[in-house]
Amino acid sequence: MKGSESLHKNVVIGGRTLEIEEVLLAARDAVPVEFSKDPEWHRKIRAGAEFIDRALKEHREIYGVTTGYGQSGIRVVPQELMLDLSKYLVRFHGCGMGEILPEPLAKAVMVVRLNSLAYGHSGVRMDLLDLMRELINHSIIPVIPEEGSVGASGDLTPLSYVAAVLMGERDVFYQGKRRQTSEVFKELDIQPLTLMPKEGLAVMNGTSVMTAIACFAYQRAEYLSRLASRITAMVVEVLRGNKSHYDERIFAYKPHPGQSLIATYIREDLGYHSADSKALNHHLQDRYSLRCAPHVIGVLADALPWMKEWIETELNSANDNPLVDAEQEDFLHGGNFYGGHIAFAMDGLKNAVANVADLLDRQMAFMMDPKNNRGLPANLSGATEERLCISHGFKAMEIGTAAWTAEALKNTMPASVFSRSTECHNQDKVSMGTIAARDCLRVLELTEQVAGAVLLAATQGLEIRIRNGDLEHHHLTPQIRETLDAIRGECDFIEDDRPLEQTLRRIKLMIAEKAWALYED
Protein backbone atom coordinates (compact mmCIF):
# COMPACT_ATOMS: atom_id res chain seq x y z
CA MET A 1 0.00 0.00 0.00
CA LYS A 2 1.14 3.52 -0.70
CA GLY A 3 0.76 6.47 1.65
CA SER A 4 -1.60 9.29 0.69
CA GLU A 5 -0.23 11.76 -1.79
CA SER A 6 0.00 15.38 -0.72
CA LEU A 7 1.40 18.68 -1.83
CA HIS A 8 3.07 18.89 1.58
CA LYS A 9 6.37 17.28 2.42
CA ASN A 10 6.20 14.23 4.62
CA VAL A 11 6.06 14.75 8.37
CA VAL A 12 9.40 13.61 9.76
CA ILE A 13 9.52 12.07 13.23
CA GLY A 14 12.70 11.33 15.15
CA GLY A 15 15.52 13.58 16.29
CA ARG A 16 13.64 16.82 15.65
CA THR A 17 10.92 19.03 17.11
CA LEU A 18 7.40 18.45 15.81
CA GLU A 19 5.01 21.38 15.41
CA ILE A 20 1.25 21.51 15.96
CA GLU A 21 0.64 22.11 12.27
CA GLU A 22 2.56 18.95 11.36
CA VAL A 23 0.40 16.86 13.68
CA LEU A 24 -2.68 18.24 11.95
CA LEU A 25 -1.23 17.68 8.48
CA ALA A 26 -0.65 14.01 9.26
CA ALA A 27 -3.93 13.53 11.11
CA ARG A 28 -6.36 15.62 9.09
CA ASP A 29 -4.77 15.91 5.65
CA ALA A 30 -3.19 12.43 5.40
CA VAL A 31 0.33 13.75 4.87
CA PRO A 32 2.54 10.66 5.27
CA VAL A 33 4.77 10.21 8.29
CA GLU A 34 8.36 9.11 7.84
CA PHE A 35 11.23 8.55 10.24
CA SER A 36 14.48 10.44 10.43
CA LYS A 37 17.31 8.91 8.47
CA ASP A 38 19.82 10.03 11.09
CA PRO A 39 21.81 6.92 12.15
CA GLU A 40 22.25 8.37 15.64
CA TRP A 41 18.49 8.48 16.16
CA HIS A 42 18.11 4.86 15.06
CA ARG A 43 20.96 3.87 17.37
CA LYS A 44 19.26 5.61 20.30
CA ILE A 45 16.01 3.72 19.71
CA ARG A 46 17.83 0.39 19.56
CA ALA A 47 19.86 1.24 22.64
CA GLY A 48 16.77 1.80 24.78
CA ALA A 49 15.20 -1.55 23.95
CA GLU A 50 18.52 -3.38 24.29
CA PHE A 51 19.14 -1.83 27.71
CA ILE A 52 15.81 -3.15 28.99
CA ASP A 53 16.71 -6.63 27.75
CA ARG A 54 20.04 -6.48 29.59
CA ALA A 55 18.43 -5.14 32.74
CA LEU A 56 15.99 -8.04 32.81
CA LYS A 57 18.80 -10.53 32.39
CA GLU A 58 20.53 -8.85 35.33
CA HIS A 59 17.32 -9.12 37.39
CA ARG A 60 17.07 -5.37 37.95
CA GLU A 61 13.89 -4.04 39.50
CA ILE A 62 11.85 -1.96 37.03
CA TYR A 63 8.45 -0.53 37.86
CA GLY A 64 5.72 -1.91 35.63
CA VAL A 65 8.05 -4.53 34.19
CA THR A 66 9.15 -6.62 37.15
CA THR A 67 6.38 -5.24 39.37
CA GLY A 68 2.66 -4.65 39.21
CA TYR A 69 1.18 -1.24 38.46
CA GLY A 70 0.38 1.72 40.68
CA GLN A 71 -0.41 0.72 44.23
CA SER A 72 0.20 -2.86 43.09
CA GLY A 73 3.82 -1.96 42.38
CA ILE A 74 4.81 -3.82 45.54
CA ARG A 75 4.04 -7.10 43.78
CA VAL A 76 6.98 -8.91 42.22
CA VAL A 77 6.33 -10.37 38.77
CA PRO A 78 8.40 -13.40 37.67
CA GLN A 79 9.99 -13.26 34.24
CA GLU A 80 7.71 -15.93 32.79
CA LEU A 81 4.69 -13.67 33.45
CA MET A 82 6.12 -10.37 32.24
CA LEU A 83 4.68 -10.61 28.72
CA ASP A 84 1.29 -11.44 30.17
CA LEU A 85 1.60 -8.48 32.55
CA SER A 86 1.97 -6.09 29.61
CA LYS A 87 -0.92 -7.74 27.77
CA TYR A 88 -3.17 -7.66 30.83
CA LEU A 89 -2.42 -3.97 31.36
CA VAL A 90 -3.79 -3.23 27.91
CA ARG A 91 -6.82 -5.43 28.38
CA PHE A 92 -8.01 -4.34 31.81
CA HIS A 93 -7.91 -0.71 30.71
CA GLY A 94 -10.39 -1.48 27.94
CA CYS A 95 -13.22 0.24 29.81
CA GLY A 96 -13.51 3.58 28.01
CA MET A 97 -16.95 5.13 27.66
CA GLY A 98 -18.64 8.09 26.02
CA GLU A 99 -18.50 9.23 22.43
CA ILE A 100 -15.85 7.86 20.07
CA LEU A 101 -13.08 10.27 19.11
CA PRO A 102 -13.48 11.48 15.50
CA GLU A 103 -11.08 9.73 13.13
CA PRO A 104 -8.78 12.72 12.54
CA LEU A 105 -8.46 13.26 16.28
CA ALA A 106 -7.77 9.57 16.97
CA LYS A 107 -5.17 9.66 14.22
CA ALA A 108 -3.59 12.70 15.87
CA VAL A 109 -3.38 10.69 19.10
CA MET A 110 -1.33 8.11 17.17
CA VAL A 111 0.98 10.76 15.73
CA VAL A 112 1.52 12.44 19.11
CA ARG A 113 2.19 9.13 20.88
CA LEU A 114 4.57 8.03 18.13
CA ASN A 115 6.51 11.27 18.44
CA SER A 116 6.86 10.88 22.21
CA LEU A 117 8.05 7.27 21.95
CA ALA A 118 10.49 8.33 19.22
CA TYR A 119 12.47 10.35 21.77
CA GLY A 120 14.03 7.06 22.79
CA HIS A 121 13.38 7.27 26.52
CA SER A 122 10.58 4.70 26.66
CA GLY A 123 12.56 1.63 25.61
CA VAL A 124 10.28 0.46 22.81
CA ARG A 125 11.53 -1.45 19.79
CA MET A 126 11.77 -0.04 16.29
CA ASP A 127 9.23 -2.70 15.28
CA LEU A 128 6.61 -0.98 17.43
CA LEU A 129 7.39 2.45 15.97
CA ASP A 130 7.27 1.00 12.45
CA LEU A 131 3.84 -0.52 13.03
CA MET A 132 2.48 2.74 14.43
CA ARG A 133 3.77 4.61 11.40
CA GLU A 134 2.27 2.01 9.06
CA LEU A 135 -1.13 2.32 10.71
CA ILE A 136 -0.99 6.12 10.51
CA ASN A 137 0.00 6.16 6.85
CA HIS A 138 -2.66 3.60 5.90
CA SER A 139 -5.30 5.42 7.99
CA ILE A 140 -6.02 2.38 10.14
CA ILE A 141 -7.28 4.30 13.14
CA PRO A 142 -8.01 2.92 16.62
CA VAL A 143 -11.58 3.33 17.84
CA ILE A 144 -11.02 5.34 21.04
CA PRO A 145 -13.80 6.22 23.54
CA GLU A 146 -13.22 9.74 24.81
CA GLU A 147 -14.02 9.22 28.51
CA GLY A 148 -12.03 7.51 31.24
CA SER A 149 -8.81 9.49 31.73
CA VAL A 150 -7.96 11.56 34.81
CA GLY A 151 -4.85 12.92 33.09
CA ALA A 152 -2.32 11.10 35.34
CA SER A 153 -0.89 8.53 34.89
CA GLY A 154 -1.33 10.04 31.51
CA ASP A 155 -4.22 8.88 29.36
CA LEU A 156 -4.09 5.22 30.36
CA THR A 157 -7.57 4.09 29.37
CA PRO A 158 -7.91 5.84 25.98
CA LEU A 159 -4.32 4.99 25.03
CA SER A 160 -5.00 1.33 25.83
CA TYR A 161 -7.06 1.34 22.63
CA VAL A 162 -3.92 2.26 20.68
CA ALA A 163 -1.91 -0.47 22.40
CA ALA A 164 -4.68 -3.01 21.81
CA VAL A 165 -4.69 -2.30 18.08
CA LEU A 166 -0.92 -2.87 17.96
CA MET A 167 -1.70 -6.30 19.47
CA GLY A 168 -4.35 -6.90 16.78
CA GLU A 169 -7.25 -6.48 19.19
CA ARG A 170 -10.39 -4.30 19.52
CA ASP A 171 -11.68 -2.17 16.63
CA VAL A 172 -10.35 0.26 14.06
CA PHE A 173 -11.76 2.64 11.50
CA TYR A 174 -10.61 1.67 8.02
CA GLN A 175 -11.89 3.08 4.73
CA GLY A 176 -14.85 4.70 6.45
CA LYS A 177 -16.01 1.62 8.35
CA ARG A 178 -15.60 0.38 11.91
CA ARG A 179 -14.11 -3.11 11.78
CA GLN A 180 -12.33 -5.62 13.97
CA THR A 181 -8.60 -4.99 14.00
CA SER A 182 -7.85 -8.67 13.48
CA GLU A 183 -9.87 -8.71 10.25
CA VAL A 184 -8.17 -5.63 8.83
CA PHE A 185 -4.71 -6.91 9.75
CA LYS A 186 -5.43 -10.25 8.07
CA GLU A 187 -6.78 -8.55 4.96
CA LEU A 188 -3.69 -6.31 4.65
CA ASP A 189 -1.18 -8.92 5.82
CA ILE A 190 -0.15 -6.83 8.84
CA GLN A 191 1.41 -8.76 11.68
CA PRO A 192 0.26 -7.78 15.18
CA LEU A 193 2.87 -7.29 17.87
CA THR A 194 3.50 -9.24 21.01
CA LEU A 195 4.24 -6.34 23.32
CA MET A 196 7.51 -6.66 25.19
CA PRO A 197 7.50 -6.26 29.01
CA LYS A 198 7.63 -2.43 29.05
CA GLU A 199 5.92 -1.67 25.75
CA GLY A 200 2.30 -1.79 26.91
CA LEU A 201 3.07 0.71 29.65
CA ALA A 202 5.16 2.84 27.28
CA VAL A 203 2.32 3.20 24.78
CA MET A 204 -0.33 3.90 27.41
CA ASN A 205 1.39 5.93 30.11
CA GLY A 206 1.51 9.41 28.59
CA THR A 207 -0.34 12.61 27.77
CA SER A 208 -0.94 12.00 24.07
CA VAL A 209 -4.74 12.10 24.02
CA MET A 210 -5.02 15.44 25.79
CA THR A 211 -2.13 16.81 23.70
CA ALA A 212 -3.71 15.71 20.42
CA ILE A 213 -6.97 17.38 21.42
CA ALA A 214 -5.03 20.50 22.40
CA CYS A 215 -3.43 20.65 18.93
CA PHE A 216 -6.86 20.78 17.30
CA ALA A 217 -8.18 23.21 19.91
CA TYR A 218 -5.28 25.61 19.41
CA GLN A 219 -5.75 25.81 15.66
CA ARG A 220 -9.50 26.33 15.88
CA ALA A 221 -9.11 29.00 18.57
CA GLU A 222 -6.48 30.86 16.56
CA TYR A 223 -8.82 31.00 13.57
CA LEU A 224 -11.71 32.12 15.75
CA SER A 225 -9.66 35.08 16.97
CA ARG A 226 -9.34 36.22 13.36
CA LEU A 227 -12.93 35.48 12.43
CA ALA A 228 -14.27 37.35 15.46
CA SER A 229 -12.25 40.37 14.32
CA ARG A 230 -13.78 40.24 10.83
CA ILE A 231 -17.28 39.80 12.26
CA THR A 232 -16.75 42.75 14.59
CA ALA A 233 -15.76 44.97 11.67
CA MET A 234 -18.88 43.90 9.79
CA VAL A 235 -21.08 44.62 12.82
CA VAL A 236 -19.50 48.08 13.16
CA GLU A 237 -20.54 48.79 9.58
CA VAL A 238 -24.03 47.39 10.19
CA LEU A 239 -24.52 49.57 13.28
CA ARG A 240 -22.76 52.63 11.85
CA GLY A 241 -20.33 52.43 14.72
CA ASN A 242 -17.51 54.74 15.69
CA LYS A 243 -14.45 53.49 13.84
CA SER A 244 -12.11 55.65 15.90
CA HIS A 245 -12.46 53.15 18.76
CA TYR A 246 -9.77 51.15 16.91
CA ASP A 247 -7.34 54.04 16.45
CA GLU A 248 -3.79 52.71 16.67
CA ARG A 249 -2.85 55.36 19.24
CA ILE A 250 -5.23 53.83 21.79
CA PHE A 251 -3.44 50.51 21.55
CA ALA A 252 0.00 52.06 21.55
CA TYR A 253 -0.87 53.46 24.97
CA LYS A 254 -1.75 49.96 26.26
CA PRO A 255 0.51 47.78 24.17
CA HIS A 256 -0.61 44.19 24.69
CA PRO A 257 0.60 42.63 21.42
CA GLY A 258 -2.44 40.46 20.73
CA GLN A 259 -4.87 43.23 21.59
CA SER A 260 -3.02 45.58 19.25
CA LEU A 261 -3.07 42.95 16.51
CA ILE A 262 -6.83 42.48 16.78
CA ALA A 263 -7.33 46.26 16.68
CA THR A 264 -5.19 46.36 13.54
CA TYR A 265 -7.31 43.66 11.91
CA ILE A 266 -10.54 45.54 12.67
CA ARG A 267 -9.06 48.91 11.71
CA GLU A 268 -7.88 47.59 8.35
CA ASP A 269 -11.21 45.91 7.69
CA LEU A 270 -12.92 49.24 8.29
CA GLY A 271 -10.41 51.23 6.22
CA TYR A 272 -9.86 53.56 9.17
CA HIS A 273 -6.90 55.91 9.57
CA SER A 274 -6.04 58.17 12.49
CA ALA A 275 -6.51 61.24 10.30
CA ASP A 276 -10.20 60.30 10.04
CA SER A 277 -10.81 60.36 13.78
CA LYS A 278 -12.58 63.71 13.92
CA ALA A 279 -14.66 63.22 10.78
CA LEU A 280 -16.15 59.77 11.29
CA ASN A 281 -17.69 59.91 14.76
CA HIS A 282 -21.34 58.97 14.20
CA HIS A 283 -21.50 58.18 17.92
CA LEU A 284 -19.07 59.42 20.51
CA GLN A 285 -18.88 56.10 22.33
CA ASP A 286 -20.34 52.76 21.25
CA ARG A 287 -21.33 49.98 23.61
CA TYR A 288 -18.54 47.87 25.03
CA SER A 289 -19.37 44.98 22.68
CA LEU A 290 -18.03 47.16 19.86
CA ARG A 291 -15.68 49.56 21.60
CA CYS A 292 -13.89 46.92 23.69
CA ALA A 293 -13.85 44.13 21.09
CA PRO A 294 -10.04 44.26 20.66
CA HIS A 295 -9.67 44.05 24.43
CA VAL A 296 -11.84 40.91 24.58
CA ILE A 297 -10.57 39.10 21.49
CA GLY A 298 -7.08 40.36 22.32
CA VAL A 299 -6.96 38.29 25.50
CA LEU A 300 -7.35 35.19 23.35
CA ALA A 301 -4.78 36.46 20.85
CA ASP A 302 -2.28 37.19 23.63
CA ALA A 303 -2.84 33.82 25.32
CA LEU A 304 -2.35 31.75 22.17
CA PRO A 305 1.47 32.08 21.91
CA TRP A 306 2.20 30.74 25.39
CA MET A 307 -0.43 28.06 24.98
CA LYS A 308 1.24 26.98 21.75
CA GLU A 309 4.59 26.84 23.53
CA TRP A 310 3.16 24.64 26.27
CA ILE A 311 1.36 22.34 23.83
CA GLU A 312 4.44 21.90 21.66
CA THR A 313 6.66 21.31 24.68
CA GLU A 314 4.31 18.53 25.79
CA LEU A 315 4.15 17.23 22.22
CA ASN A 316 7.94 17.01 22.08
CA SER A 317 8.47 15.28 25.40
CA ALA A 318 9.03 11.82 26.81
CA ASN A 319 6.01 11.58 29.11
CA ASP A 320 6.25 7.94 30.11
CA ASN A 321 7.18 6.36 33.45
CA PRO A 322 9.65 4.96 34.11
CA LEU A 323 11.94 6.66 31.62
CA VAL A 324 15.00 4.99 30.16
CA ASP A 325 18.48 6.50 30.11
CA ALA A 326 20.33 3.92 28.07
CA GLU A 327 23.55 5.94 28.00
CA GLN A 328 23.90 5.82 31.78
CA GLU A 329 22.01 2.52 32.08
CA ASP A 330 19.45 3.93 34.45
CA PHE A 331 15.70 3.88 34.96
CA LEU A 332 14.14 7.16 36.05
CA HIS A 333 10.94 6.86 38.05
CA GLY A 334 9.06 10.16 37.95
CA GLY A 335 5.84 11.88 36.96
CA ASN A 336 6.21 13.11 33.37
CA PHE A 337 2.82 11.54 32.66
CA TYR A 338 1.16 14.35 34.65
CA GLY A 339 -0.85 16.56 32.29
CA GLY A 340 -0.87 19.75 34.35
CA HIS A 341 0.40 22.07 31.63
CA ILE A 342 -2.14 20.89 29.08
CA ALA A 343 -4.88 21.07 31.73
CA PHE A 344 -4.05 24.67 32.60
CA ALA A 345 -3.68 25.68 28.94
CA MET A 346 -7.01 24.14 27.98
CA ASP A 347 -8.81 25.60 30.99
CA GLY A 348 -7.43 29.00 30.04
CA LEU A 349 -8.20 28.60 26.36
CA LYS A 350 -11.82 27.65 26.90
CA ASN A 351 -12.22 30.71 29.15
CA ALA A 352 -10.79 33.06 26.52
CA VAL A 353 -12.84 31.48 23.73
CA ALA A 354 -16.08 31.59 25.72
CA ASN A 355 -15.54 35.29 26.34
CA VAL A 356 -15.38 35.76 22.57
CA ALA A 357 -18.69 33.89 22.28
CA ASP A 358 -20.16 36.25 24.87
CA LEU A 359 -18.87 39.27 22.95
CA LEU A 360 -20.38 38.06 19.68
CA ASP A 361 -23.67 37.26 21.42
CA ARG A 362 -23.85 40.87 22.65
CA GLN A 363 -23.16 42.11 19.13
CA MET A 364 -25.98 39.91 17.89
CA ALA A 365 -28.39 41.36 20.44
CA PHE A 366 -27.29 44.89 19.49
CA MET A 367 -28.21 44.28 15.85
CA MET A 368 -31.62 42.75 16.65
CA ASP A 369 -33.13 45.46 18.87
CA PRO A 370 -34.93 48.21 16.90
CA LYS A 371 -34.65 50.53 19.90
CA ASN A 372 -30.87 50.45 19.62
CA ASN A 373 -29.81 49.18 16.19
CA ARG A 374 -29.80 52.61 14.59
CA GLY A 375 -32.58 52.39 12.07
CA LEU A 376 -32.60 48.72 11.16
CA PRO A 377 -35.77 46.59 11.20
CA ALA A 378 -36.43 44.44 14.25
CA ASN A 379 -34.55 41.13 14.14
CA LEU A 380 -32.98 42.20 10.83
CA SER A 381 -36.10 41.10 8.98
CA GLY A 382 -35.81 41.59 5.24
CA ALA A 383 -39.56 41.42 4.67
CA THR A 384 -41.49 43.95 2.63
CA GLU A 385 -43.49 46.55 4.54
CA GLU A 386 -46.81 44.73 4.14
CA ARG A 387 -45.35 41.42 5.41
CA LEU A 388 -43.25 42.84 8.20
CA CYS A 389 -45.99 42.15 10.76
CA ILE A 390 -45.65 38.37 10.27
CA SER A 391 -41.88 38.21 9.77
CA HIS A 392 -39.39 37.59 12.57
CA GLY A 393 -36.06 37.36 10.76
CA PHE A 394 -33.25 36.36 13.10
CA LYS A 395 -35.31 36.31 16.32
CA ALA A 396 -34.91 32.56 16.90
CA MET A 397 -31.28 32.67 15.80
CA GLU A 398 -30.58 35.28 18.46
CA ILE A 399 -32.21 33.09 21.10
CA GLY A 400 -30.09 30.17 19.91
CA THR A 401 -26.98 32.32 20.11
CA ALA A 402 -27.81 33.15 23.72
CA ALA A 403 -28.27 29.44 24.49
CA TRP A 404 -24.97 28.42 22.89
CA THR A 405 -23.15 31.22 24.64
CA ALA A 406 -24.60 30.25 28.01
CA GLU A 407 -23.52 26.65 27.52
CA ALA A 408 -20.03 27.73 26.49
CA LEU A 409 -19.73 29.92 29.58
CA LYS A 410 -20.98 27.08 31.79
CA ASN A 411 -18.19 24.86 30.50
CA THR A 412 -15.47 27.31 31.54
CA MET A 413 -15.35 25.82 35.04
CA PRO A 414 -11.69 24.72 35.27
CA ALA A 415 -11.40 20.93 35.15
CA SER A 416 -7.90 21.11 36.63
CA VAL A 417 -9.26 22.02 40.08
CA PHE A 418 -11.34 18.83 40.25
CA SER A 419 -8.53 16.43 41.09
CA ARG A 420 -9.74 13.16 42.63
CA SER A 421 -7.61 10.73 44.59
CA THR A 422 -7.71 7.43 42.71
CA GLU A 423 -6.17 3.97 42.57
CA CYS A 424 -5.86 3.30 46.33
CA HIS A 425 -4.53 6.86 46.78
CA ASN A 426 -1.41 6.13 44.72
CA GLN A 427 -2.75 8.61 42.18
CA ASP A 428 -3.80 11.05 44.88
CA LYS A 429 -3.32 14.19 42.77
CA VAL A 430 -4.29 14.11 39.10
CA SER A 431 -4.47 16.73 36.33
CA MET A 432 -7.84 16.15 34.65
CA GLY A 433 -6.10 17.47 31.53
CA THR A 434 -8.06 15.31 29.12
CA ILE A 435 -11.38 16.50 30.54
CA ALA A 436 -10.16 20.10 30.26
CA ALA A 437 -9.18 19.51 26.63
CA ARG A 438 -12.50 17.86 25.80
CA ASP A 439 -14.37 20.73 27.46
CA CYS A 440 -12.32 23.15 25.40
CA LEU A 441 -13.37 21.45 22.16
CA ARG A 442 -17.00 21.72 23.24
CA VAL A 443 -16.60 25.43 24.01
CA LEU A 444 -14.99 25.91 20.60
CA GLU A 445 -17.84 24.09 18.88
CA LEU A 446 -20.42 26.26 20.63
CA THR A 447 -18.47 29.43 19.88
CA GLU A 448 -18.21 28.47 16.21
CA GLN A 449 -22.00 28.16 16.20
CA VAL A 450 -22.29 31.62 17.72
CA ALA A 451 -19.82 33.03 15.20
CA GLY A 452 -21.71 31.43 12.33
CA ALA A 453 -25.00 32.91 13.47
CA VAL A 454 -23.58 36.41 13.96
CA LEU A 455 -21.81 36.20 10.61
CA LEU A 456 -25.11 35.41 8.90
CA ALA A 457 -26.84 38.23 10.78
CA ALA A 458 -24.10 40.75 9.98
CA THR A 459 -24.31 39.81 6.31
CA GLN A 460 -28.08 40.38 6.42
CA GLY A 461 -27.58 43.70 8.18
CA LEU A 462 -25.07 44.93 5.62
CA GLU A 463 -27.37 44.05 2.77
CA ILE A 464 -30.29 45.83 4.43
CA ARG A 465 -28.13 48.95 4.74
CA ILE A 466 -27.14 48.66 1.07
CA ARG A 467 -30.74 48.11 -0.08
CA ASN A 468 -31.92 51.05 2.01
CA GLY A 469 -29.26 53.32 0.53
CA ASP A 470 -27.51 53.81 3.88
CA LEU A 471 -24.33 52.21 2.57
CA GLU A 472 -22.69 51.68 -0.79
CA HIS A 473 -21.28 48.22 -1.49
CA HIS A 474 -18.16 49.72 -3.03
CA HIS A 475 -17.53 51.81 0.09
CA LEU A 476 -16.85 48.64 2.07
CA THR A 477 -13.24 47.49 2.14
CA PRO A 478 -12.32 44.66 -0.26
CA GLN A 479 -11.93 42.21 2.61
CA ILE A 480 -15.42 42.87 4.01
CA ARG A 481 -16.88 42.71 0.48
CA GLU A 482 -15.15 39.37 0.00
CA THR A 483 -16.63 37.95 3.20
CA LEU A 484 -20.06 39.39 2.41
CA ASP A 485 -20.03 37.82 -1.05
CA ALA A 486 -18.78 34.48 0.33
CA ILE A 487 -21.63 34.27 2.82
CA ARG A 488 -24.13 35.34 0.18
CA GLY A 489 -22.90 32.37 -1.85
CA GLU A 490 -24.09 30.13 0.98
CA CYS A 491 -27.20 32.02 2.10
CA ASP A 492 -29.48 34.26 0.05
CA PHE A 493 -30.94 37.41 1.53
CA ILE A 494 -33.65 36.45 4.01
CA GLU A 495 -36.84 38.18 2.94
CA ASP A 496 -39.50 35.68 4.00
CA ASP A 497 -38.88 33.63 7.14
CA ARG A 498 -37.37 30.21 6.46
CA PRO A 499 -35.50 27.49 8.37
CA LEU A 500 -31.80 28.29 8.76
CA GLU A 501 -30.51 25.14 10.46
CA GLN A 502 -28.84 23.60 7.42
CA THR A 503 -27.38 26.95 6.39
CA LEU A 504 -25.91 27.44 9.84
CA ARG A 505 -24.53 23.90 9.84
CA ARG A 506 -22.74 24.62 6.56
CA ILE A 507 -21.32 27.89 7.86
CA LYS A 508 -20.19 26.26 11.11
CA LEU A 509 -18.44 23.50 9.18
CA MET A 510 -16.72 26.09 7.00
CA ILE A 511 -15.52 27.89 10.13
CA ALA A 512 -14.16 24.67 11.62
CA GLU A 513 -12.39 23.96 8.32
CA LYS A 514 -10.98 27.51 8.07
CA ALA A 515 -12.70 28.03 4.73
CA TRP A 516 -11.80 31.71 4.40
CA ALA A 517 -8.32 33.19 4.47
CA LEU A 518 -8.35 35.91 7.13
CA TYR A 519 -5.46 38.37 7.39
CA GLU A 520 -1.86 37.79 6.44
CA ASP A 521 0.55 36.84 9.21
Inter-residue contact 368 to 379 (CB < 8 Å): yes
Q: pLDDT per residue over 285-301, tens digit each?
A: 999 999 999 999 999 99
Domain 214-320+331-512 fold: Fumarase C; Chain A, domain 2 (1.20.200)
> What pTM value is reported for the model?
0.95
Q: What are phi and psi of 29, to 5 degrees?
A: -110, 5
Can you tell me the mean pLDDT for 147-161? 96
Q: How confident is the model at residue 425 (pLDDT cuts 50, 70, 90)?
A: confident
Q: Given this model, what pLDDT does residue 356 score?
A: 99
Catalytic residue among 63, 174, 223, 253: 63
Query: Which of 415, 407, 412 lies closest to 434, judged by CA?
Result: 415
**55-92: string of b/e by CB count within 10 Å (b at 16+)?**
bbeeeeebbbbbbbbbeeeeeebeeeebeebbbebbbe
Q: Given this model, what pLDDT does residue 275 score?
A: 76
Q: Which H/E stretch holds residue 124?
A: none
**What is the number of residues in the chain?**
521
Can you tell me the mean pLDDT for 428-452? 97
Q: pLDDT per residue over 382-406, tens digit each?
A: 888 889 898 899 999 999 999 999 9
Q: Given this model, what pLDDT does residue 450 score?
A: 99
Q: Given this model, what pLDDT does residue 487 score?
A: 97
Q: Given this model, what pLDDT does residue 279 score?
A: 65
Q: How confident is the model at residue 282 (pLDDT cuts 50, 70, 90)?
A: low
Distances (CA, A) of 68 to 198, 424, 507: 12, 14, 51
Can you tell me the mean pLDDT for 249-268? 98
Residue 7 in this model has a pLDDT that exceeds 80 = no
223 is known as an active-site residue: no
Instruction: Give CATH 1.20.200.10 domain extents, the chain.
Output: 214-320+331-512
Class of domain 11-206: mainly alpha
Can you tell me the mean pLDDT for 157-167? 99
- Across 209-223, 262-276, 400-414, least confident range: 262-276
Can you tell me the mean pLDDT for 249-270? 98
Q: How confident is the model at residue 281 (pLDDT cuts 50, 70, 90)?
A: low
Instruction: Give CATH 1.10.275.10 domain extents, the chain.
Output: 11-206
Q: pLDDT per residue over 178-225, tens digit each?
A: 999 999 999 999 999 999 999 999 999 999 999 999 999 999 999 999
Q: Given this model, what pLDDT does residue 68 score?
A: 84
Q: pLDDT per residue over 472-503, tens digit each?
A: 999 999 999 999 999 999 999 999 999 999 99
As a whole number of angstroms, the distance between CA 349 and CA 328 comes to 40
Can you tell me the mean pLDDT for 139-155? 96
Query: Which of 37, 35, 28 lies closest to 10, judged by CA?
Result: 35
Q: What share of the chain has pLDDT > 70, as a percent?
A: 97
